[in-house]
Structure 1
Amino acid sequence: MALAHAHATLGAAAITLLVAYPLLDAVSSAVDCLSVSDGAERRVTAFNGALSTPVAVGFGVAGSTHEVSAVLGVFGVWAVVSGAAQVAVGIRRRGPELAGQWPMLVAGGLSFVVGVFYDIQAAGHQPPLDVLSVYATGGGIFFIVQAGLPAWKARRGAAQPA
């Protein structure tokens, strides 16, 4: 939400927030990797974390040009690649586990589509920076929901009689 207030120009506040966003994603991916068992989900989590660090550098470099199109292009590529990885993992999981993968499929699919849209906008005339605040806000809300689900499931499981 702070990006929404800093999006009018590509100043120091906006660049700082843009660099911080993938760094937070990298840290949260590292934490998630510790809690996820081996398998495709752990690999995509590690991949997303590894991808987020160079994206932060990319935002810093793109932001230093003060070109919205450069920043939007970096964001679009990041969203496409990470979204495609999430969808691939979600689709590979078949059977009963697939029901538990709907958040990953939805988030990955939306990320992919929005990333393509951002890259198209970046190639256009005077691309808007404010579209990133919508993505970041939606991502933040999704992150909070995902972080709260394990606690909610654990509480619900503890409340059921044995």
Structure 2
Amino acid sequence: MTHLEVELTVVEDQTVFGLSKPSNDRTVAGDVKALSASYHYLLGKAGGEILPFFVLSRNYDEATGDFELFVGGLLEAESLKKILLPAGKYAKIVVKPKLRFLWGPAIGEAKRFLYTKWLPASGYEPLNLEYESHTGRSTGKNPSIDLYFAIKEKNPSA
């Protein structure tokens, strides 16, 4: 298992533009790939990289595994949906896959760690919003991305 660290951080509002669709735990890998391809095509960058790039999930239903999936970036286009990544407190994990093609398993491992190990002992609870932030660090010989999980204190002090 990779050594994972959680950093508490405060994030400012950020508007992003992209595409969304319903997804679930079983189809998310294919859904991310298809939405990403559509996003790149709409921006005239099929086959090219657009950075920064965000992959967001929100409104997760534990009973069904369903959620809203969104992919996008900072480039505006008429055909893209506009959403706001809200300001607030986030738990951040830097994900560094051993090999570039292992993004999926590395992200899955980080999410499992946060939800099953870190959160129960942290004094925080999730706000049902998480996103990947792909930047220039996502490419190259030792790639990494940042995972952000919106959180709040379980019992905030008055």
Using structure 1 for the length normalisation, give the TM-score.
Answer: 0.28
Q: Relative to total residues, which structure has the larger strand share, 1 or 2?
A: 2
Output the TM-score relative to the length of structure 2. 0.29
- Which structure's relative contact order is higher, taking Cα pairs within 8 Å and 6+ residues apart? 2
